[in-house]
Amino acid sequence: MKKFALYSIALITLSLSVFFAFKLYTDNQYGEPNLTNGQAKFNLNCQSCHGDKGEGDGIIANSLLVSPDNIYTELTNPLGLKLELINSVLEGDNGQDGIMPAFKGSLSASDVNDIFAYIKTINET
């Protein structure tokens, strides 16, 4: 039984290490973000639903059937993957009953990364 517990702890530790290594890699794969581009793209594409700081309280939010997510909370979730959030923006978020539109025609993954960096910056200052 002692051996089983030791193997279980080792497996859990290895799994967590692999997950956080993957998270570190994918969260940083787009390089240094361009905050000026992030601000411009956020104001044009996101602010009306997600609000001034990306908290889901934009002027259109109250008229939607499903409230927009608080982007900052999503970005700071230690178990969340930025890659998953970027895909949600580009492909549309079906978890929001299809209300979040796809932006792959107007934004690139790099643009979304810039937007996320901008949101983190304005919420942490």
Express each pLDDT in 51-90 by its tens digit.
Answer: 999 999 999 998 988 889 999 999 999 988 899 999 999 9
Question: Is the Cβ–Cβ distance between 90 and 109 less than 8 Å?
Answer: yes
> What distance in Å separates the CA atoms of residue 66 and residue 94, rounded to the nearest whole number?
11
Tens-digit pLDDT profile for residues 2-42: 888 888 998 899 888 888 888 888 878 888 999 999 999 99
Q: What is the pLDDT of residue 5?
A: 84
Which of helix, strand or coil describes residue 100?
strand
CATH topology of domain 33-123: Cytochrome Bc1 Complex; Chain D, domain 2 (1.10.760)
> What distance in Å separates the CA atoms of residue 18 and residue 123, rounded to the nearest whole number?
29
What pTM did the predictor assign? 0.83
92: alpha, beta or left? (left if phi > 0; alpha if psi -120 to 50): left
Q: Tell me the average pLDDT of the chain.
A: 91
> What distance in Å separates the CA atoms of residue 35 and residue 21, rounded to the nearest whole number?
25
